[in-house]
Amino acid sequence: MLMLLPGGGLGMNPTMDDMNLIQAQRHLVRDIGEEIDLEIGPGDDDPSFANTPLLGGPSQEPSAEEQGESKQMSMVSEIPNADQDILKGQPAKRKKKVVKRWREEWADTYKWAYVDVKEGTARIFCSVCKEYGRKHRRNPYGNEGSRNMQMSALEEHNNSLLHKEALRLQMASKDKIVVDKPIYVKALMSKTAGSIIEAALKRDPHEAEFIQSVQEAVHALERVIAKNPHYVNIMERLLEPERMIIFRVPWVDDRGETHVNRGFRVHFNQALGPCRGGIRFHPKMNLSVAKFLGFQQTLKNALSPYKLGGAAGGSDFDPKGKSDNEIMRFCQSFMNEIYRYFGTDKDLPSEEMGVGIREMGYLFGQYRRLAGNFQGSFTGPRIFWSGSSLRTEATAYGLVFFARLILAELNKDVKGLRCVVSGYGKIAMHVLEKLVAVGALPITVSDSKGYLVDEDGFDYMKISFLRDLKSQQRSLRDYSKTYARSKYYDEAKPWNERCDFAIPCGSQNEIDQADAINLVNSGCRILVEGSNMPCTPEAVDVLKKANVIIAPAMAAGAGGVVAGEIELNHECNVMHWSPEDFESKLQEAMKQTFHRALKAADDFGYQKESPESIVHSLSDNRALLHGAVISAFLTIAQAMTDQGCV
């Protein structure tokens, strides 16, 4: 039997009222725009919340929740005294301590979460909803309760309708606002060479990364084109990829929701042989980046002792925060479209940013299933079954070997020299490892949030600790808690640390003009490019004027090409190479690449005369930078000329 309470609430019997009261305290009705109450007290009510209409939804009565609360209060006032005594006797819930390490554990998964201090208490908020959604009525993600309570609240908000609505508004806002990147155009002495860049700008005006890589190549080839005007036509054909493939990649996450990403594969040039190039999974991956990487890979493969064509590709898929099953489903969907273009005589994909042994294994497994054969044409997962034992280290070790070749030409030893390294991936970690092995003193690593410096330098034990931090998804900041002589700098780059040479292993354009000035002022005299195009054009100009020797990635990073070709060699498919044998072959290949670049530079006058023969080869700091491009281009141009207009 229902009875009307004086406060306007409905009641049944005292026992049922108690049950309703407890349920009302623990759970609020969750409409489209409402958030989750984590039982953290009255919260911070926003007076304007009730009057704010739902985005794209029907309006609500402004006093609906207030009426509900008044009903609850009236129900409490009407409960018999005996029952009230029972409720008073129940122990009050105590707030638990704040979990201090939430950022380190969940920062990759919940990128929207941030900490702010409100009324003297540190709390967690959502940056996406703050900018694109409605104001938060409460602090729904809280800083209280056990670890499981907090994680449950974070996950619940991540799946809430309000948060998804804010994400859609964010994506729509990004789609509407298109900001063209300013393209820095250098002046050229030759009008003929300038016409090549003008044609590229006219054809692809919005592809900033690709235009930048074209400019660097044309500047290096200016004297070549001036002496041989017929190379203009060759260059124009070379700059247009043979094949560009763009496709959608649908996949399903662990919650059953469907997502769609965009996939790319650019076969840039196959005049020297089947294509080889990396697959990159990164949110900023686009056609411009794919073309720039493919062009760089084409030149890199042509410069190496093993002649191959160049390709690149990937997707704007972000593997961070994804489960193994989600990554597997994405890789399988990616391969469903692109597998028909792969093969030992077509295209040989390899690892790149965001793609490691795990991803290559998933890709190869789906390729084998679709192709119906075991060709072993993927570099990466084959290290478990056959091939060289140092496949993943080859690129990084090659960078250190190349740095030693430069220092040897300058009559210097690498032992004791301070080296600044950027990045925190597999290449950067192997670079640290090899630098320690040859006696150098690596002092920095960096991630997307800042950099870590250890004044005592890294050793094998410290590198092992860094790997443990990465495998446990912990922050680089934790390193400083163990080693007192180290420090982590937020929102900073390592280029102002005192050093003798630098090896950037991050991403393209990580060194701008200000960073280049810092490098020069820090004493850096050699820069070995561990990543493709790590310097902006303005930064390259600063380094050139300061006589800093730049070892381009197409020469210094050829170790990966060498290792991949050795793996495909029939002799290597039936035996494992020992580390010593492999390093010997790798050093010999890097030495050939080094001298091939210097010879091309010398043929076109990029080296000054000097009475000291030991300094002669690198007296012009443009020798390696321009010589590598010249040697690679002449090799490709000869093949394209022999094969006719195809």
* Separation of alpha carbons 308 and 561, rounded Å: 9
Is residue 458 scored above 90 in pLDDT?
A: yes
- Per residue in 313-366, pLDDT tens? 999 999 988 999 999 999 999 999 999 999 888 888 888 889 988 898 899 999
Q: 11-21, pLDDT tens digit by residue?
A: 445 545 554 54
Strand pairing report for 309-315 and 258-269: antiparallel
- Planar angle of CA 327, 328, 334, nearest 5 degrees: 85
pLDDT at 583 over 50: yes
Mean pLDDT of 463-470: 93
Q: Does domain 391-638 have CATH number 3.40.50.720?
A: yes
How far is the C-alpha of 563 from the C-alpha of 395, rounded, in Å? 8
Instruction: Note the pLDDT of residue 150.
Output: 67
Per-residue pLDDT at 267 exceeds 60:
yes
Tell me yes or no: is domain 241-385 CATH 3.40.800.20.
no
Beta-strand ranges (E) seen in 321-370 are: 347-351
Number of helical (H) and strand (E) elements in the chain, helices listed first: 26, 17
Distance CA 644, CA 646 (A): 6
Residue 49: per-residue pLDDT = 36
- What is the reported pLDDT for 92? 52
Tokens of 134: 């409605």
Computed over every residue of the chain, the mean pLDDT equals 78
Percent of the chain with pLDDT over 90: 46
Token pair for 25: 């305290």
Domain ranges within the chain, ordered by starting residue:
97-175, 241-385, 391-638
The predicted-structure confidence for 417-444, as pLDDT tens digits, reads as follows 999 999 998 899 999 999 999 999 999 9
* In the predicted structure, residue 42 carries a pLDDT above the cut 70: no
Count CB atoms within 10 A of the CB of residue 612.
8
Domains 241-385 and 391-638 share a fold: yes
Is residue 7 over pLDDT 60?
no
Res 606: pLDDT: 82
pLDDT reading at 119 higher than 80: no
Q: How far apart are CA 630 and CA 596, in angstroms?
A: 10
Name which residue leads in pLDDT, 596 or 611.
Answer: 596
Structure confidence at residue 8 (pLDDT)? 44
Mean of pLDDT values over 624-646: 93
Q: Is the pLDDT of residue 51 over 50?
A: no
pLDDT band at 57 (very low <50, low <70, confident <90, very high): very low
pLDDT at 35 over 80: no
Q: Are strands 347-351 and 418-422 parallel, antiparallel or unpaired?
A: unpaired
DSSP string, 319-340: -TT--HHHHHHHHHHHHHHHGG
Which of 50-64, 133-147, 387-401, 586-600 is the least confident region?
50-64
d(CA 252, CA 592): 47
CB atoms within 10 A of CB 41: 13
Q: Give pLDDT tens digits for 607-621.
A: 654 434 334 456 567
Cβ(109)–Cβ(5) below 8 Å: no
Going by pLDDT thresholds of 50, 70 and 90, the confidence category of residue 110 is confident
Instruction: Identify the pLDDT of residue 189.
Output: 59
Q: Is the pLDDT of residue 529 over 80?
A: yes
Dig out the tokens for 425 from the structure.
């991936």
Q: Which of 5-9, 179-183, 512-516 tops mean pLDDT?
A: 512-516
CB 574 within 8 A of CB 548: no
Q: How far apart are CA 264 and CA 314, in angstroms?
A: 5
Select from 332, 331, 261, 273 the least CA-distant residue to 297. 273
> Cα–Cα distance between 284 and 315 in angstroms, integer?
9
Q: Region 131-154: what's the mean pLDDT? A: 56
Each residue's pLDDT tens digit, 188-234: 557 788 889 889 999 998 999 999 999 999 999 999 998 888 899 99
548 versus 9: which is more confidently predicted? Answer: 548
In 497-627, at which residue ranges do the beta strands (DSSP E only) sit?
501-504, 526-528, 549-551
Please tell me the predicted confidence (pLDDT) of residue 26: 41
In the DSSP assignment, the letter for residue 383 is: G
Q: For the residues 80-87, what does the mean pLDDT come to?
A: 52
Distance CA 285, CA 290 (A): 7
How many C-beta atoms lie closer than 10 Å to residue 474's C-beta?
A: 14
Residue type at position 563: A
Mean pLDDT within 442-463 = 94
In whole angstroms, what is the distance from residue 643 CA to residue 233 CA? 14
Task: Please determine, for residue 284, whether its predicted confidence score (pLDDT) is greater than 60.
Answer: yes
pLDDT band for position 23 (50/70/90)?
very low
Confidence (pLDDT) at 609: 42
Q: How far is CA 144 from the centre of its chain?
A: 33
The reported pLDDT for the residue numbered 126 is 81
pLDDT at 574: 42
Please answer whether residues 631 and 599 qualify as being in contact, where contact means their C-beta atoms are separated by less than 8 angstroms. yes
Higher local confidence (pLDDT), 208 or 578: 208
